[in-house]
């Protein structure tokens, strides 16, 4: 039955409709002005086509998507090279080198050069961002939606298009390089200056930038695709007087589950069906950022007020005005029906196989917030990417430096990652590149589900403990790291290598990829 279920899932992900096409996008990575909350930074942002969020990428299930990024960065006060990751896109083994993980699957590419990523073939809500250092904090992040024309849940909604995409994000008035200096000096992660909904926000003492507005028609059902493109903070999302029905998590269709408030971690995605069934009026969309471990830390930055992070749901016919209701943080106490991850069920349940490997993981911060360890090791990027080392014969953990935190598995096996509870109550958002995993045990519950657990690619890990399982059926080196990028930068990551021999046989990169590392190594340090 497990094999049959796996084949069903494979068919869902890989089926290529007759209408499949090749969709091509070209994005220029540039330094451009950006003031999403009205604050003009002294240095420009790092943006795709000069916008934040970056241009929306759209495809249909089965399409091949080719995205060319032209690096036109010139500001030497920030990182000038780049490398792009597509979160939620299930990379094919043959194109694992297009997966975008710097120093795992490829080297970054520098100024005045270009690189084309090729991906697609599944459906769901995904996004893209720079994976190099903390660069995406400067704005290089955007949404990538792959629609399924035959979505089995389409009877639940009437509208699902470009207008129903919601992004939530954090924003800093300082550049990532300046923030990083402050991080090292204070040994504390800098607190954001504002929270953004669909690229717009406010800060204390700043201008009253108009909030992003989504207009709905009374009686219509909308599928809102919610993506947290934050660098650090989880976000609590709700809509005054409305309920939300979850039908997708991280690209996996789910059985409908109703809620009125949910927490979304950095990198995670949900599809929410909302029916416009209230009186014609304006309603607050609450998008309240919260520090994953300690909400009181927000007071470390006097210009940040989480309550200012929100948008407006406006019914057609309502006045062009902000809601008259007070700004709140959403339903609380007995009124709150907070989404519980462990209650999510895939639309097509797939029982996870019993594990062939069990990894017992701990996270720790032995010194201060600038050092994070996964199983006692601080991950540090190697000079030679993991994929190149494997291509040159590396086949065991002994072939890699300890700081590369690399784990080797045979093909078509099941790996269980068992996170012990964190006594420090520090919450993390662990993400696996190129794959999805079963969440056997969610952080917020003691329930262990080996029958129909959630399937996703981002999961919270904290004081409750978390158990994940994934299959090694796609040869490749896959990054596994905390998507709170300050934690990732501080070393909270590892590389999961599936089938080294299969990688050597199946992964056949071309000339452009082959030239990335020599070109990057030849760059002056200021351009890397």
Do residues 55 and 48 lie in contact, with contact meaning Cβ atoms separated by under 8 Å? yes
Q: Is the pTM of this model over 0.85?
A: yes
Q: Residue 101's closest CA among 455, 506, 417, 382?
A: 382
Do residues 196 and 39 lie in contact, with contact meaning Cβ atoms separated by under 8 Å? no
Task: Give the fold, CATH level 3, of 357-521.
Answer: Immunoglobulin-like (2.60.40)
Largest CA distance in the chain: 66
Separation of alpha carbons 165 and 366, rounded Å: 40
Do residues 276 and 216 lie in contact, with contact meaning Cβ atoms separated by under 8 Å? yes
CA angle 53, 44, 104 (to 5 degrees): 65
Q: Is the pLDDT of residue 99 over 90?
A: no
Name the pLDDT band for 425 (thresholds 50, 70, 90).
Answer: confident
Q: Is the pLDDT of residue 520 over 90?
A: yes
Residue that the structure tokens 């690096």 belong to: 71
pLDDT, tens only, 366-398: 888 899 999 999 999 999 999 999 999 999 999
Q: Residue 280's closest CA among 326, 328, 314, 242?
A: 314
For 300, list phi and psi in degrees, rounded to 5: -70, -15
Q: Is the pLDDT of residue 180 over 90?
A: yes
pLDDT, tens only, 213-261: 999 999 999 999 999 999 999 999 999 999 999 999 999 999 999 999 9
Strands 22-32 and 414-419, bridge-based pairing: unpaired
Name the pLDDT band for 1 (thresholds 50, 70, 90).
Answer: very low
Structure tokens at 330: 């959403």
pLDDT, tens only, 433-489: 999 999 999 999 999 999 999 999 999 999 999 999 999 999 999 999 999 999 999
Q: Is the pLDDT of residue 4 over 50?
A: no
Separation of alpha carbons 226 and 234, rounded Å: 13
Structure tokens at 478: 């896959």
Separation of alpha carbons 390 and 105, rounded Å: 10
pLDDT at 121: 62
Name the pLDDT band for 12 (thresholds 50, 70, 90).
Answer: very low
pLDDT, tens only, 486-513: 999 999 999 999 999 999 998 888 889 9
Coil, helix or strand for 382?
coil
Name the pLDDT band for 198 (thresholds 50, 70, 90).
Answer: very high
Name the pLDDT band for 205 (thresholds 50, 70, 90).
Answer: very high
Tell me the mean pLDDT in the region 159-168. Answer: 97
Structure tokens at 132: 């190099």
Structure tokens at 408: 């080797």
pLDDT at 42: 85
Structural domain spans, the chain: 357-521
pLDDT at 111: 98
* Beta-carbon contacts of residue 211 (< 8 Å; ≥ 6 apart): 197, 200, 202, 310, 311, 312, 322
pLDDT at 7: 31
For 362, list phi and psi in degrees, rounded to 5: -125, 150
What's the first-to-final CA gap in the chain, in angstroms?
A: 50
Separation of alpha carbons 103 and 386, rounded Å: 6
Structure tokens at 19: 């209408």
What is the average pLDDT value for the chain, to the nearest integer? 92
* Beta-carbon contacts of residue 494 (< 8 Å; ≥ 6 apart): 374, 375, 377, 379, 405, 406, 407, 480, 481
pLDDT at 70: 98
Which residues sit opposite 248 in a β-bridge? 253, 271
Q: Residue 45's closest CA among 141, 189, 143?
A: 141
Do residues 42 and 72 lie in contact, with contact meaning Cβ atoms separated by under 8 Å? no
Do residues 76 and 528 lie in contact, with contact meaning Cβ atoms separated by under 8 Å? no
Tell me the mean pLDDT in the region 2-27. Answer: 56
pLDDT, tens only, 356-365: 999 999 999 9
pLDDT at 350: 93
Name the pLDDT band for 422 (thresholds 50, 70, 90).
Answer: confident
Separation of alpha carbons 269 and 254, rounded Å: 12
Separation of alpha carbons 233 and 302, rounded Å: 17
Coil, helix or strand for 364?
strand
């Amino acid at each position: 039955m497990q094999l049959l279920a796996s084949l069903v899932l494979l068919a869902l992900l890989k089926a290529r409709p007759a209408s499949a096409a090749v969709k091509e996008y070209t994005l220029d990575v540039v330094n451009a002005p950006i003031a999403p909350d009205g604050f003009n930074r002294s240095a420009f942002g790092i943006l795709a086509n000069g916008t934040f969020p970056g241009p929306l990428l759209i495809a249909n299930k089965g399409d091949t998507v080719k995205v060319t990024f032209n690096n036109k960065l010139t500001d030497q006060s920030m990182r000038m090279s780049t490398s792009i990751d597509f979160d939620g896109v299930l990379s094919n083994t043959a194109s694992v080198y297009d997966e975008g993980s710097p120093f795992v699957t490829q080297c970054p590419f520098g100024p005045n050069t270009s690189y084309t990523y090729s991906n697609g073939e599944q459906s769901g809500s995904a996004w893209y961002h720079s994976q190099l250092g903390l660069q995406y904090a400067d704005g290089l992040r955007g949404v990538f939606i792959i629609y399924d024309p035959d979505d089995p849940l389409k009877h639940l909604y009437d509208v699902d298009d470009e207008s129903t995409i919601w992004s939530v994000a954090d924003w800093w008035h300082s550049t990532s390089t300046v923030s990083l200096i402050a991080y090292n000096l204070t040994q504390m992660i800098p607190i954001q200056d504002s929270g953004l909904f669909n690229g717009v926000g406010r800060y204390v003492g700043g201008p009253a930038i108009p909030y992003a507005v989504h207009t709905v028609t009374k009686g219509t059902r909308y599928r809102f695709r919610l993506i947290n493109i934050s660098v650090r903070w989880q976000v609590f999302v709700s809509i005054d007087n409305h309920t939300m029905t979850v039908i997708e998590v991280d690209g996996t269709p789910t059985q409908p589950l109703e809620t009125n408030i949910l927490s979304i971690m950095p990198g995670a995605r949900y599809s929410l069906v909302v029916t416009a069934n209230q009186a014609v009026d304006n309603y607050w969309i609450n998008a309240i950022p919260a520090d994953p471990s300690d909400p009181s830390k927000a007071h470390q930055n006097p210009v940040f007020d989480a309550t200012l992070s929100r948008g407006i749901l406006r019914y057609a016919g309502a006045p062009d005005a902000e809601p008259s209701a007070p700004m709140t943080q959403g339903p609380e106490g007995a009124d709150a029906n907070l989404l519980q991850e462990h209650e999510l069920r895939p639309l097509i349940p797939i029982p996870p196989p019993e594990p062939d490997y069990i990894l017992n993981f701990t996270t720790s911060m032995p010194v201060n917030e600038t050092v994070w360890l996964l199983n006692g090791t601080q991950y540090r990027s190697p000079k030679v990417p993991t994929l190149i080392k494997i291509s040159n014969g590396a086949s065991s953990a002994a072939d890699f430096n300890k700081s590369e935190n690399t784990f080797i598995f045979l093909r078509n096996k099941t790996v269980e990652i068992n996170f012990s509870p964190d006594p420090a109550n520090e919450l993390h958002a662990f993400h696996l590149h190129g794959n999805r995993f079963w969440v056997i045990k969610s952080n917020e519950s003691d329930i262990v589900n080996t029958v129909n657990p959630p399937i996703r690619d981002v999961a919270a890990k904290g004081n409750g403990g978390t158990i994940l399982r994934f299959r090694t059926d796609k040869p490749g080196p896959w990054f596994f790291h905390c998507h709170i990028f300050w934690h990732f930068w501080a070393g909270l990551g590892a590389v999961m290598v599936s089938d080294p021999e299969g990688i050597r046989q199946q992964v056949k990169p071309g000339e452009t990829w082959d030239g990335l590392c020599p070109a990057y190594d030849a760059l002056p340090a200021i351009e890397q």
